[in-house]
Chain A
Amino acid sequence: MTPSLDPVLPGAILAGGVLAAAASLWLLLPNGPDRTATRRLGTLLGLLALGAFIVTGRRLGGFGEEAVFLIVSLVAVVAAAATIVSRSPVYAAIWFALSLCGVAGVLLVLGAQFLGVATIVVYAGAILVMFLFVLMLAQPAGLAPYDRVSNEPFLSALAGAVLLGVLSLSIGRLSAAPAACCGLPSRAQAGADAAAAAATPPAAGAADPLAENHVARLGGELFGRHLVAVEAAGVLLLVALIGAIAVVARGEDVHASMADDAGRAVR
Chain B
Amino acid sequence: MNPVQSLAMLQNALTVGAILFSLGLVGILTRRNLIVMFLAAEMMLQGISVSLVAWSRHHGDWGGHVLVIFVLTVAACEAAVALVFVLQAFSRTGRLDAAAWQSLREATVGRTVDRELPAAGAAPPPFPTLTRAGVQPPGGEHAPLEREHV
Contact = CB atoms under 8 A, between A and B. Distances in A.
Main SS of chain A's interface residues?
Answer: helix
Interface in A192-232: 192, 195, 201, 204-205, 207-210, 217-218, 221-222, 225-226, 229
Interface string B108-128: 000100110110110110111
Contacts of B46: 76, 80, 99-100, 103, 119, 123
A3 B6 CA distance: 10
B36 to A, nearest CB: 5
Contacts of A159: 25-26, 29
Contact of A138 (B1, B56, B90, B121): B90
A236 interface: yes
A243 interface: yes
Interface string B79-103: 1110111111011111111111111
Contacts, number: 360
B111 A261 contact: yes
Contacts of B93: 258-260
Interface in B49-93: 49-50, 53-54, 56-62, 65-66, 68-70, 72-81, 83-88, 90-93
Contacts of B102: 260-261
B7 to A, nearest CB: 5
Contact of B2 (A126, A141, A191): A191
B91 A252 contact: yes
B35 A248 contact: no
Q: How large is the interface on A (under 10, 10 to 19, 20 to 34, 35 or more residues)?
A: 35 or more
B110 to A, nearest CB: 11
Interface of B: 1-16, 18-27, 29-33, 35-36, 38-40, 42-43, 46, 49-50, 53-54, 56-62, 65-66, 68-70, 72-81, 83-88, 90-103, 111, 114-115, 117-118, 120-121, 123-124, 126-130, 132
